[in-house]
Each structure stands twice: as C-alpha cells, then as structure tokens.
Amino acid sequence: MRRVAMVGAGMTQFGELFHLGIKDMLPMAVGEAVASVDKGFDRGDIGAAWFGELVSTDGFASGILADSCGLLDIPVSHLENACATGNDAVRHGVMAIASGMYDVVLVVGADKVRETSTRTTFWDWMGMTRDSAWDFPLGLVAPANFALHVNRYLHESPATREHMAMVAVKNHRHGVSNPKAQLRFEITIEQVLNAPMVVEPFGLFDCTPQSDGAAAVILVAEDVVDRYTDRPVWVRGVGLGVDRVMHAHKRDMTTFPPTVKAAKQAYAMAGVGPGDIDVAECHDCFTGVELINYEDLGFCERFGAHKLVEAGETSVGGRIPVNPSGGLKAKGHPPGATGVAQCVELFEQLRGDASNQVDGARVALAHNIGGPTAVSAVTILGTARGG
Amino acid sequence: MRRVAMVGAGMTQFGELFHLGIKDMLPMAVGEAVASVDKGFDRGDIGAAWFGELVSTDGFASGILADSCGLLDIPVSHLENACATGNDAVRHGVMAIASGMYDVVLVVGADKVRETSTRTTFWDWMGMTRDSAWDFPLGLVAPANFALHVNRYLHESPATREHMAMVAVKNHRHGVSNPKAQLRFEITIEQVLNAPMVVEPFGLFDCTPQSDGAAAVILVAEDVVDRYTDRPVWVRGVGLGVDRVMHAHKRDMTTFPPTVKAAKQAYAMAGVGPGDIDVAECHDCFTGVELINYEDLGFCERFGAHKLVEAGETSVGGRIPVNPSGGLKAKGHPPGATGVAQCVELFEQLRGDASNQVDGARVALAHNIGGPTAVSAVTILGTARGG
C-alpha cells in the first residue's frame, strides 16, 4: 500500500466559543495546519478534503468547508461516525491517498456543541448518536450511557471512584500547559470526589466539558512528502470497529468491543503492538472510560487499569503517557474535531514540538469511542515510515 | 490504480413506505444485492461498508446499518453529501478498494423522507442541505432553490415549459415498466402544464415525489472478481464537484458548475467522453434540471437541451436514453438512496437485465446534483474493464 505522511496540523482553541461560528473556526484550523508545513504549502495542491462534523449548525457541511476555506475545485465530503468521526475522517484521508486518486488531502473536524442552530436542539444531537427509536427515549443520553458501563466496571474490577478521580487530576494537570485547552487549571482528588453528581458514578469533574472547536491535518503520499517537510509524521495504521447500537444487546459492559476491533486493525496495519506505543491520546469523555480504554487498547491486562493510573504510568514522565494534551477532560470535546485534534497533538509530540512534550516519543496512538459505545476509531502515527 | 467491479446490486421499492423503517429497508436492499451475485456471496467477505443517509430517523447511522445487516466485524462509516450522497458513497467504496485496504465493500444508501422522527422535522432536513444561516431562513427550500436556476435558464435558452413537460412525460413513461418505481402511470403534456403550481416554473408534475427507500451495491477488486461473477460491471470513473453554497455567490444560474467538475473528473478517469455514454441516470429532481444536466454532462451544446428532448433522443430507443428507470421524477427520490439506486439501474442495464432495457448499452453514467446546487457526483460504469 502507498504510504501516507502527515505534514501539517493545526487547531483552534477549544472552549465556549460563542463569538465564533463554524465558518470562522474552519479557516482558523486549516490556516494553522497550512502554516505548520515546514517548506510551505500551496492550497492548490490539495486534491480532496473530508469534513468530520456530527451536527451541522450552519447547514450543508461539505459545502460550508469548501466555501469557507476556498476549496471549490476539489471533491469535499462530509463524514459522521459519532464521537469516532475525527479519527474515521483521518482513516478516509489515508484511504484516498493510498488509492492513488489524490497525492495531498485535507482532513478537517469541527463541531459547535455550545451553539446549536435554531432548528437543531441539543436533543437532536444526542438522539442521532444512539438508537433514537429505543434507547434514547428511555433516557440514554451520553452520561447515562457511559455510566451503565462504568458502574459495572467498578463492580467487577478493583478500580474505585478514587482511580477515576486520578484520571481527572492527571488530565487537568496535563492540560495546564496546553494553550488550546478549555479547562487550564489543576484539580485535586478531593475536588473530584466532592463535586456535584451528574449521574452515578460521574461527578462534575469526571465529565468532559461541552466544547466548540475545529482541527485540521494535511496528509500527503510518500512520493511527494519531500516537497513539504524533512520531518514527516507517518500514518502507520488506521482502524474502525463497531458494535451493536442498543445497550440491551451488549454482552459485557466492562469492555468496549469496538475499541478492541479498531486497535487490532490499526496495530496489524502498523506492525506494532501496545508495548510499542510511547504516547497516546485516548477518549476520556468520562474518567472511568479512560480506565476501560487502557485495557481495550492493550496498555495493561484486564481489570489492571487502576494500577497504571495509581503508579503514574500514564502521566507524562511515566511509562506510557495518556492524554498529554489534557484529553477530552481538560482540552475539551467538540466531537467532530476531537479525533483530528488528537492527531494534531500527536503530530507535535512526534516532532518534539508539543506543549507538554513526552521525551523521545516515536510511536503514538489516537483513539475515540463514540455513539452508544458502538463505534471506535484508532490511528497510529510514527516517526518511522514503517516496513 | 487497482480496478473495481460491481458484482451485486439491489434496492427496495421506492414510495411512501409508512409500514417500513430504516431498519427494515436496509436489510431488504442489502439482501437483494447479495442475492444478485451470480456465483453466490458470503457476507463474511465484506471488508468495509459505507452508509449514505441525509437525515437519520433512527439514530446513529453507521451503527444502525451494522446492526440491522449483521456487519459487526467490519468498519462502517456514514457519509452525507446532500443529494449527491449516493454516488459519493460509491466513490468512497471505489477508493477503499483501490487503496488495497479492502477487497470487497458494501455501499448502501437510504432515507425516509415520508417519516421524520419526532425530533427531526422536515425543516431540519431542508436546512441541513443549504446555508441554514442565510439562504434557508429567506425561504430557499429545494423547489425555490432550483426554480431560481430554471427561471433564468428559461429566460436565456430557447427551452420552454413545454420542453420541461416533455421530460416529465418521458420519465413517467419510462417508469411504468419499473416495478420499483413510486409513480407508475403515464401523464400527458397537458396534464403537466395544467397541474397546480408548486413554485414558478414548477407545476406538480415538474417535481419529484418525496420518497422512502434504500439501495445497495457490492464492489470488489479486480483480483477477486472471478469468484463472484463472469459478467461484472466495472466502475470506470468517479467524480465529485462542489460550488459556493449561497445563491448570492453563483455567477451563472443556467449551469451547475459542480456537475461540470464532477463529470470532467469521471470522464478523465474512465477515459471516455459524453459521446461514449449509451445510457444515463441523471438527477431530475425538477424537470428543468434534467435539461440543464444534458448540457453540463456534455450530452449536447449549451442551450441545446430542448432539441434533445423534442427529438426524443433521451427516450429509450433514442440516441442517449436518460432515466430509463423513470428517474427521480417517477421512480422516486429518497436522497441518500437515489445515487446508489441509479447505479442499481445501470448495473442491470449493462447486464441486459433492466425492466426498460436500452439495447446494447456498454457505457453508462449516473449523476446527482444536490444541496444548494453546490455539489455533484458522477459515476461511470462499463461492461469493459478499461485500459
């Protein structure tokens, strides 16, 4: 297969961006990605583009990207895969280049959660990311959805709410140095445990904030990479896994099968294993979910996640730092942008340019789990081109 | 580039399917596609799937496809590109196989326009396919949108409302023999011209009906095609073009630049020109739009479309039959399904199995124009593998 490199990456601030619309954020993220290309970049080189967005606030999604970023002479498509949208969009960029149809593609993700249009309410939003005929009318909004899993996980594994709190404390600490993060302040275990309850077992600080934001990456074929940079980041592997939509059909609430499937595909394609990962950005929409992710991604054995976080192994400075950007928890979570922004962070990590740098990082993993825990996307990046 | 063949195709009846949900229609279309594979087909062979849908009635789109069709061990993605969704989904299937990542993929399109969920109104629907901040609040729903173009076209070209009526009469006549068509009755020029006005210059019979339906095609790599059939249909070319979203920014209302761009890409990839097309399914959402399509696709010179329809050249039996299935006008138009269903029709045409067969068809073209006339997708199919 034709190999694919990431040569540019950029993102907006994540946060409550009431002063910015989608049409403002898209050019900001794309502009930063273009400016990050070492040897300069002509937008006319872009052969095709993908826009990952969950819910349109401004209407026709692919047209809005094309129009606001001056991409009128190339194909532009809109992709949606719940909270796995961002890394699935990257996967599509990789396929497009590997196919030989395009040498250079743009992958953009964005969402405005803090401003829904007059016609699209927050509840449309929630309904479209789960089974809206059955689970959703019964109250299965995102926090309730993940709470079903994490309650069972706390019951079956030795992990406790304290371990969940350690995840929040770690990710907030990581986010302090990230200028793009939404919540740049440290918190304590006590604050997490004593915060108002959202839904058992998630207190306020166990939950990601709701965010607006956009992120963009530029992917190119191995044949042309030298035109753009001497220090590319290679997309070594991509994977996407799915599962049944309704919670009545899940066989084991303590694991997310889509993550296991997506990771298996991505590891195989990259020719690496969990032990090769130097740094990861994984989907900590709720603290307990990050613990389950450690296990599903193979960073530790089943029900061993609490030991990892207890020992500080997933902190920057530890064996396998997770969410050095602050993660969804502190950096923020505009769903369409999240996976792309994870790749922006890892692009910087692998080039030694990150705000919270993991020393000597050479192989990195990005991960989303989304929808009714029914889809996951994994991207593996590396400094080496791969065999 | 690795070549791609279509080996199976199926669709549901199009119509007001109040008795069927998305979860019913998807397995019906996929089941028919699977059953159409000459040498048999094992669903376990499918490596990845794409679901084209504009607006979800049942929630999380890719999960609903995976769940209802038993596709839980492969990547499934949801794609949306307004009314160009179907042919863009086919384009994604082609890229996926060409990339070498998958040998066999499933491409499905579906929508339920006649049943929107309690949370998604028809107006959300309309808003998401145009600029919902500017054009849409001013009243630019689909008929008004296309009427702006066709009014100007009638002003600048020699075409008249009678020529538009000839398109309606032709497509209704074509649809009579199609068991999957929604409106299986003939109409007369007088009926079209005397029908109640929807929006000047579109009377009732100038407009496509609103429809529910699903369609599916199975694509495979050239390396494995012999396992499935001895008479494959080859995907010779794909293209996608975009344009500015807002009508204030359109430079010429008498042509659709996205169609011209998409057709140019698809013709170049296929190594054919408009003169090579034996049969076409093109986007007749409103009769006058079919006339503009003839010109944008290169079937005739600028402002020459009226001569084509007047001379019966686009009727079955004519030089270049357009919409032998009945088109959107008579077959129906569930937007996510429409482009895929065009390919289903052309798959049958190229294998000599169509209900309204075009004798000796060897090269065929499918075309959508969608959104605020800001996106078009074109697929070129052929009986020959191509050079």
Residues A91 and A154 in one domain: no
- Per-residue pLDDT tens, chain A, 387 aa: give them: 999 999 999 999 999 999 999 999 999 999 999 999 999 999 999 999 999 998 877 889 999 999 999 999 999 999 999 999 999 999 999 999 999 999 999 999 999 987 655 455 555 666 678 888 888 888 888 899 999 999 999 999 999 999 999 999 999 999 999 999 999 999 999 999 999 999 999 999 999 999 999 999 999 999 999 999 999 999 999 999 999 999 889 999 999 999 999 999 999 999 999 999 999 999 999 999 999 999 999 999 999 999 999 999 999 999 999 999 999 999 999 999 999 999 999 999 999 999 999 999 999 999 999 988 999 999 999 999 986
CB-nearest partner of B77 from A2, A67, A88: A88
Cis peptide bond upstream of B143, omega within 30: no
Residues B198 and B255 in one domain: yes
Residues on chain B touching A1 (C-beta within 8 angstroms):
99-101
Q: Output the pLDDT for position B115.
A: 66
Q: Is the pLDDT of residue B151 over 80?
A: yes
- Record: contact B129-A374, CB cut-off 8 A: no
Look up residue A106 and give its two tokens: 């743009």
CB-nearest partner of A245 from B67, B82, B88: B67
How many whole angstroms separate alpha carbon A160 and alpha carbon B40?
Answer: 52
**CA distance to partner chain A, nearest, from residue B67 (Å):** 5
How many whole angstroms separate alpha carbon A47 and alpha carbon A102?
Answer: 5
Per-residue pLDDT tens over the stretch B272-290: 999 999 999 999 999 999 9
How many whole angstroms separate alpha carbon B10 and alpha carbon A386?
Answer: 41
A74 shares contact with chain B (CB less than 8 Å): yes
The pLDDT confidence band at residue B116, using thresholds 50, 70 and 90, is low
Residues A47 and A158 in one domain: no
Residues of chain B with pLDDT > 70: what percent? 96
Q: Report CA-CA distances (Å) from A150 to A202, A275, A297, A335.
A: 9, 25, 17, 21
The total domain count for chain A is: 2
Position B11 in a domain: yes
Letter for the amino acid at A139? Answer: G
Q: What is the end-to-end Cα distance of chain A in Å, rounded? A: 11
Cis peptide bond upstream of B201, omega within 30: yes
CB-nearest partner of B128 from A60, A241, A262: A60
Residues A216 and A274 in one domain: no
Q: Which residues pair with B322 in a beta bridge?
A: B280
Q: What is the mean pLDDT of residues B358-382?
A: 96
Q: Output the pLDDT for position A125.
A: 65
How many whole angstroms separate alpha carbon B282 and alpha carbon B289?
Answer: 9
A96 shares contact with chain B (CB less than 8 Å): yes
Contacts of A22 (CB under 8 A, 6+ apart): A53, A56, A57, A58, A64, A68, A110, A112, A214
Look up residue A216 and give its two tokens: 């963009």
Q: Output the pLDDT for position B59.
A: 87
B242 shares contact with chain A (CB less than 8 Å): yes
A248 shares contact with chain B (CB less than 8 Å): no
Contacts of B57 (CB under 8 A, 6+ apart): A132, B21, B22, B112, B115, B116, B117, B120
Residues A269 and A149 in one domain: yes
- Record: contact B131-A77, CB cut-off 8 A: no
Position A111 in a domain: yes
Q: What is the mean pLDDT of residues B319-328?
A: 98
Residue ranges of E strands in B89-176: 104-112
Domain that holds residue A285: 131-210+236-382
Report field, pTM of the whole predicted structure over 0.95: yes
Q: Output the pLDDT for position B120.
A: 54
Q: Which of residues 50-69 of A touch B (CB under 8 A)?
A: 56-64, 66-67
Q: Output the pLDDT for position B135.
A: 84
**CA distance to partner chain B, nearest, from residue A161 (Å):** 30
Q: Output the pLDDT for position B136.
A: 83
Q: What is the mean pLDDT of residues B132-146?
A: 86
**A90 phi/psi in degrees, rounded to 5:** -60, -45
Q: Output the pLDDT for position B128.
A: 73
Query: What residue in B sits closest to A69 (Cα-Cα)?
Result: B244
Return the SS3 of B5.
Answer: strand
Whether complex ipTM tops 0.95: yes
Look up residue A276 and give its two tokens: 């090769």
Position A155 in a domain: yes
Q: Output the pLDDT for position B146.
A: 96
Position A216 in a domain: yes
Residues on chain B touching A375 (C-beta within 8 angstroms):
60, 62-63, 76
- Residues recorded for chain B: 387
Position A387 in a domain: no
Residue ranges of E strands in chain A: 4-11, 48-52, 76-80, 104-112, 197-199, 202-203, 212-221, 233-242, 279-281, 363-370, 375-382
Q: Which of residues 144-183 of B touch A (CB under 8 A)?
A: none
Q: Is the pLDDT of residue B27 over 70?
A: yes
Tell which residue, A92, A12, A342, A225, has the closest CA to residue B99.
A92
Residue pointed to by tokens 């692919």: A62
**A82 phi/psi in degrees, rounded to 5:** 50, -140
Letter for the amino acid at A249? Answer: H
Q: Give the number of A-B residue pairs with CB atoms closer than 8 Å.
A: 219
Q: Output the pLDDT for position B122.
A: 57
Position B72 in a domain: yes
Position A125 in a domain: no
- Record: contact A63-B132, CB cut-off 8 A: no
Residues A140 and A86 in one domain: no
Q: Judging by beta carbons within 10 Å of its beta carbon (0-12, 13-18, 19+), is residue A31 exposed, middle or buried?
A: middle
B140 shares contact with chain A (CB less than 8 Å): no
Q: What is the end-to-end Cα distance of chain B in Å, rounded? A: 11
Q: Output the pLDDT for position B181.
A: 98
Residues B218 and B113 in one domain: yes
DSSP A108: E
Query: What residue in B sits closest to A135 (Cα-Cα)?
Result: B59
B261 shares contact with chain A (CB less than 8 Å): yes
Q: Which of B227, B261, B283 is the last residue of a domain?
A: B227
Name the packing angle between helices B61-68 and B22-35 (round to 10°): 50
Contacts of A189 (CB under 8 A, 6+ apart): A162, A165, A166, A169
Q: Output the pLDDT for position A117.
A: 55
The pLDDT confidence band at residue B188, using thresholds 50, 70 and 90, is very high
Residues on chain B touching A92 (C-beta within 8 angstroms):
77, 92
Contacts of A24 (CB under 8 A, 6+ apart): none
Residues A290 and A155 in one domain: yes
Which of the following is catalytic: A149, A247, A333, A367? Answer: A333
**CA distance to partner chain A, nearest, from residue B340 (Å):** 16
Residues on chain A touching B80 (C-beta within 8 angstroms):
61-62, 78-80
Tell which residue, B347, B363, B367, has the closest CA to residue B355.
B347
How many whole angstroms separate alpha carbon A318 and alpha carbon A361?
Answer: 12
Q: Which of B198, B227, B256 is the last residue of a domain?
A: B227
Residues B97 and B143 in one domain: no
Position A218 in a domain: yes
CATH number at residue B34: 3.40.47.10
Q: Output the pLDDT for position A128.
A: 73
Residue from A62, A97, A111 whose CB has the most chain B CBs within 10 Å, to mutate: A62
**Furthest-apart CA atoms within chain A: distance in Å:** 56
Residues B45 and B168 in one domain: no
Residues B215 and B292 in one domain: no
Per-residue pLDDT tens over the stretch B38-90: 999 999 999 999 999 988 778 899 999 999 999 999 999 999 999 999 999 99
Q: Which residues pair with B78 in a beta bridge?
A: A80, B51
Q: Output the pLDDT for position A235.
A: 98
Residues on chain A touching B48 (C-beta within 8 angstroms):
240
How many whole angstroms separate alpha carbon B86 and alpha carbon B81?
Answer: 8
- Record: contact A63-B375, CB cut-off 8 A: yes
Residues A173 and A275 in one domain: yes
Look up residue A259 and give its two tokens: 């993550």
Q: Which residues of B are catalytic?
A: 83, 333
Q: Which of B196, B227, B258 is the last residue of a domain?
A: B227
The DSSP H or E segment spanning A152 is helix A142-156
Contacts of A78 (CB under 8 A, 6+ apart): A50, A51, A52, A53, A61, A62, A65, B79, B80, B81
How many whole angstroms separate alpha carbon B338 and alpha carbon A22?
Answer: 29
Per-residue pLDDT tens over the stretch B231-251: 999 999 999 999 999 988 999
Tell which residue, B349, B242, B243, B338, has the closest CA to residue B284.
B338
